[in-house]
C-alpha cells in the first residue's frame, strides 16, 4: 500500500483518538464536585437564608 494511504489511515486514527480525549476531558470535569468545608455541609435551607436580598426580589 502506498504512503498516501497510510497517511490517511494515521490521520483518521489521530482524529478519533483526539475526539475520545476531548470527550474524556469534558466529562471528567463535570463529575468533579467542589470540596465541602471540614466543619459541616451546608444544606439548601441554609443557602436560601444566606442569599443576599439584591435586586432580584419579586414584585
Element (H, E) at 46: helix 44-49
Domain assignment present for residue 17? The answer is yes
SS3 58: coil
Tens digits of residue pLDDT in 11-31: 999 999 999 999 999 999 776
Domain assignment present for residue 11? The answer is yes
Domain assignment present for residue 44? The answer is no
How far lies 14's CA from each of 10, 19, 22, 45, 51, in Å?
6, 9, 12, 49, 48
Element (H, E) at 23: helix 3-31
Q: Quote the number of domains for the chain.
A: 1
Q: 36: Cβ–Cβ under 8 A, 6 or more apart, which residues?
A: 42
Structural domain including 9 reads: 1-31
pTM of the model: 0.47
- Per-residue pLDDT, 23: 95
Percent of the chain's residues with pLDDT above 90 = 41
Amino acid at each position: 500500500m502506498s504512503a498516501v494511504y497510510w497517511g490517511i489511515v494515521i490521520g483518521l486514527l489521530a482524529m478519533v483518538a483526539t475526539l475520545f480525549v476531548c470527550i474524556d476531558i469534558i466529562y471528567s470535569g463535570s463529575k468533579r464536585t467542589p470540596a465541602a468545608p471540614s466543619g459541616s455541609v451546608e444544606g439548601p435551607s441554609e443557602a436560601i437564608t444566606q442569599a443576599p436580598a439584591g435586586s432580584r426580589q419579586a414584585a
